[in-house]
């Protein structure tokens, strides 16, 4: 476990169906606003577009995530696959972009969900008194703060804004309960809450579908609108209805992608799923199997609810109530639960005798709780994935986790995003869709790269990789379409990327003289034993050697002549081979070999040559006199040397070794002596 995650309380795994409730807080909460968004985006084609969305979810998203969780069962998801398949700074930048969209997804999930919760509260007739306290109107603000402040708040302040900020603070209190881990009781609470929400939403959707079954004329009228809408969008006579439907559905898919929100982070809950007794800790087959079961069940539940709710919305809810400012906008199920007017002019209470303001208030209460708790699985990603990644980039996050700084920072960003988007669900849905599609695209790309690497050299590789290539291409096209239409999601994500890139660069530069070394690993036991023998010599002379310029014998002769070292003095040659210099911390692999009469320490998997040489010199200081480390002059310019050190791990070596050993707590006379000549 990295230092950046030591403050996180270990989680006791639970049954997969219990963890499903945690996923449902993000995934199923979209049912509160999704039907009206899809009906607005696709018009009368919305039910058919919902079927397409289900096919994409079950045929594209589920297979990709099932593959990824099988390759990364410990919650890292696509980030782990990127680290395995794309090394160096390219891999770090890919991960950085992916983490930026993870952060954007979490922030917009929280902001949009709470904004929709305030929409449910505002339209509930029984809660007007509470609304006046939590979300005061313009007149109340003017009386409380005075006309000078009120005039400056007027462009952004609405009752929706005030209520959303109040609910956001309440939601922060809820999520604070999760900052030390997802306990068994928290998972039970999530499961009960989601089950109650699905039950109430199911009653609304089921009642609507039963009503449609008894009134086939409504279905027939809808089908005539579908034919007319399709013909109007594509008048060419040779196009079939299926192609017209496909074109219109794909065009509106970015808005519909919100239905997959929450599911794209289902991999992060894998560590919470209890596997089978005797599972291999490195490859727990039981956990993988149950996590895949969780994904399939979640997808099937959402498929039923999405198709049902969108069908009921499109056929029963008047179009004018779904538009901007309409009574059913972003709350169609609540609108029906309260007994709103149907397309035929009757009250929705004809759907069920239970419907009315009492049942609607119950639905609103449960929906508000679910929406305020949405983002829980995103918190897992921020809590576990982001600190580990930033730690490897050179940012020490232990203090931030210990004091909860990171979560406070994200809470502040959520409030800023809420104000910038005026607490409007409509304004934020584009940014939300972009972040969701970016995560889907990134995960599909990671799976594609990993699968291609595993099947490299096989004749079946094109056949195996082709489906994942198709999935990646589809999600990439939808992402580009979403960016063209709505740039806000890209702006938010790139803001996170730029912030992390800048801060990590500053942190990496400031911490460049830290030893950032854990311990050596040894290639074999003989090397380990010989290392202990060399360390106990009375005096050593370390000679770093770059293979390829001179042989070890030539280097030995040159060093003894230039530095007047006698033939009986023992020289230890050190050859360091870089691994991934983009890593900040490293645990190098050591092998000690003989080259004729000379002995050489060969170290691989190094992130920095200077740090390995300094670590060897400091290890020798534990016994006997401090060693001397003899370097030759470098022809690098100072600027090139420093850039090579920071980015490639091999520039400015003598000076960095001197800086590293001078930072230790050893007395000056007990430190290795660096000689350059």
Q: What is the pLDDT of residues 562-595, one digit of tens each?
A: 888 777 777 888 888 888 777 777 788 999 988 8
Give the Å distances, CA to CA, from 152 to 47, 146, 147: 44, 11, 9
Q: What is the pLDDT of residue 532?
A: 84
Q: What is the DSSP letter of 347?
A: B
Distance CA 145, CA 134 (A): 15
SS (H, E, C) 351-368: CCCCCCHHHHHHHHHHHH
Distance CA 641, CA 648 (A): 10
244 token code pair: 């017209």
Q: What is the pLDDT of residue 398?
A: 59
CATH of the domain at 384: 1.20.1740.10
At residue 236, φ and ψ (nearest 5 deg) are -60, 130
Residues 329 and 407 grouped into a single domain: yes
Q: What is the pLDDT of residue 134?
A: 56
At residue 204, φ and ψ (nearest 5 deg) are -70, -50
Asked if residue 147 belongs to a domain, the reply is no
Residues 496 and 579 grouped into a single domain: no
Residues 474 and 602 grouped into a single domain: no
**Hey, how many other C-beta atoms are within 10 angstroms of the C-beta on 553?**
12
100 token code pair: 């930026």
- Whether the Cβ atoms of residue 578 and residue 510 lie closer than 8 Å to each other: no
Residues 292 and 386 grouped into a single domain: yes
SS3 281: coil
629 has which bridge partners?
542, 674
**Hey, how many other C-beta atoms are within 10 angstroms of the C-beta on 76?**
22
Higher pLDDT, 429 or 354: 354
Residues 494 and 539 grouped into a single domain: no
432 token code pair: 């939300």
**pLDDT category, 213, cuts 50, 70, 90?**
very high
Domain boundary among 476, 508, 540: 508
SS3 603: strand
**pLDDT category, 383, cuts 50, 70, 90?**
low
Region for 146 from its dihedrals, namely left if φ exceeds 0, alpha if ψ lies in -120 to 50, beta otherwise: left
At residue 586, φ and ψ (nearest 5 deg) are -150, 155
Residues 502 and 570 grouped into a single domain: no
Distance CA 38, CA 309 (A): 10
**Structural domains in the chain (count):** 2
122 token code pair: 């505002």
- CB within 8 Å of 163: residues ≥ 6 apart: 118, 121, 122, 131, 134, 135, 423
Q: What is the pLDDT of residue 126?
A: 78
pLDDT of residue 95 exceeding 70, the answer is yes
483 token code pair: 């960016």
Single out the residue of 205, 182, 289 nearest to residue 28, CA to CA: 205
Q: What is the DSSP letter of 652?
A: S
Distance CA 592, CA 575 (A): 10
Q: What is the pLDDT of residue 408?
A: 72
Distance CA 469, CA 586 (A): 34
**pLDDT category, 312, cuts 50, 70, 90?**
very high
pLDDT of residue 397 exceeding 70, the answer is no
Asked if residue 526 belongs to a domain, the reply is yes
Q: Which domain holds residue 297?
A: 3-129+160-508
CATH of the domain at 626: 3.40.50
Domain boundary among 442, 476, 508: 508
Asked if residue 407 belongs to a domain, the reply is yes
Angle at 378 between CA 390 and CA 115, to 5 degrees: 125
SS3 328: coil
Domain boundary among 459, 481, 508: 508
DSSP notation for 524-577: SHHHHHHHHHHHTSS--EEEE--BTTB-HHHHHHHHHHHHT--TTS-EEEEEEE
Average pLDDT, the chain: 81
Angle at 591 between CA 588 and CA 592, to 5 degrees: 135
């Amino acid at each position: 476990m990295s230092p950046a995650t030591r403050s996180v309380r270990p989680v006791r795994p639970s049954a997969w169906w219990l963890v499903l409730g945690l996923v449902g807080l993000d995934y199923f909460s979209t049912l509160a606003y999704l039907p009206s968004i899809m009906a607005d985006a696709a018009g009368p084609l919305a039910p058919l577009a919902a079927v397409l969305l289900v096919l994409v979810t079950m045929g594209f998203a589920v297979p990709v995530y099932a593959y990824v969780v099988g390759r990364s069962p410990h919650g890292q998801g696509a980030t782990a696959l990127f680290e395995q398949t794309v090394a160096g700074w390219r891999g770090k930048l890919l991960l950085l972009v992916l983490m930026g969209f993870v952060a954007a997804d979490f922030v917009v999930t929280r902001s949009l969900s709470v904004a929709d919760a305030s929409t449910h509260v505002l339209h509930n007739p029984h809660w007007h008194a509470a609304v006046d306290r939590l979300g005061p109107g313009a007149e109340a603000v003017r009386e409380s703060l005075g006309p000078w402040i009120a005039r400056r708040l007027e462009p952004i302040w609405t009752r929706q804004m005030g209520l959303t900020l109040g609910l956001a603070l309440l939601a922060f209190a809820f999520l604070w309960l999760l900052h030390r881990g997802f306990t068994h009781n928290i998972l039970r609470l999530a499961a009960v809450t989601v089950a109650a929400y699905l039950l109430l939403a199911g009653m609304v959707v089921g009642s609507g579908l039963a009503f449609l079954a008894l009134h086939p004329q409504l279905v027939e009228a809808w089908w005539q609108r579908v034919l007319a809408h399709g013909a109007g969008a594509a008048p060419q006579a040779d196009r079939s209805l299926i192609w017209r439907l496909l074109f219109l559905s794909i065009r509106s898919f970015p808005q519909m992608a919100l239905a997959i929100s929450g599911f794209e982070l289902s991999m992060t809950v894998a560590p919470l799923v209890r596997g089978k007794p005797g599972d291999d800790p490195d490859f727990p087959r039981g956990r993988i199997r149950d996590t895949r079961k969780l994904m399939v069940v979640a997808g099937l539940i959402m498929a039923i609810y999405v198709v049902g709710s969108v069908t009921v919305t499109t056929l029963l809810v008047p179009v004018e109530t779904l538009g901007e400012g309409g009574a059913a906008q972003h709350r169609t199920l609540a609108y029906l639960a309260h007994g709103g007017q149907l397309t035929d002019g009757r009250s929705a209470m004809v759907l069920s005798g239970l419907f009315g303001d009492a049942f609607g208030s119950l639905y609103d209460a449960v929906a508000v709780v679910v929406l305020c708790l949405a983002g829980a699985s995103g918190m897992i990603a921020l809590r576990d994935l982001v600190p580990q990644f930033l730690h490897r980039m050179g940012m020490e996050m232990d203090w931030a986790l210990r004091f909860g700084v990171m979560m406070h920072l994200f809470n502040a960003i959520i409030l800023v995003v809420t104000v910038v988007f005026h607490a409007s669900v409509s304004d934020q849905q584009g940014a939300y869709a972009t972040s969701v599609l970016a995560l889907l695209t990134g995960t599909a790309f990671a799976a594609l790269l990993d699968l291609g690497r595993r099947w490299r050299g096989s004749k079946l590789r094109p056949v195996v990789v082709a489906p994942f290539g198709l999935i990646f291409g589809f999600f990439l096209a939808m992402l580009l379409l979403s960016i063209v239409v709505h740039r806000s999601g890209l702006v938010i994500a790139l803001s996170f990327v730029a912030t992390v890139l800048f801060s990590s660069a500053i942190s990496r530069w400031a911490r460049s003289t830290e030893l950032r070394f854990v311990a050596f690993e040894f290639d074999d036991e003989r090397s380990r034993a010989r290392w202990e023998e060399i360390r106990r010599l009375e005096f050593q002379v370390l000679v770093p050697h770059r293979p390829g310029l001179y042989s070890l014998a030539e280097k030995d002769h040159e060093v003894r002549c230039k530095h007047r070292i006698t033939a009986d003095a023992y020289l230890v040659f050190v050859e360091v081979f870089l691994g991934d210099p983009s890593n900040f911390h490293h645990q190098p692999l050591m092998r000690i070999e003989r080259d004729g009469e000379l002995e050489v320490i060969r170290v691989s998997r190094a992130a920095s040559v200077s740090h390995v040489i300094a670590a060897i010199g400091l290890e020798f200081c534990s016994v006997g006199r401090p060693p001397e480390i003899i370097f030759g002059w470098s022809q690098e310019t100072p600027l090139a040397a420093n850039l090579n050190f920071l980015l490639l791990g091999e520039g400015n070596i003598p000076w960095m070794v001197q800086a590293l050993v001078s930072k230790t707590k050893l007395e000056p006379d007990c430190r290795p002596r660096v000689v350059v000549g």
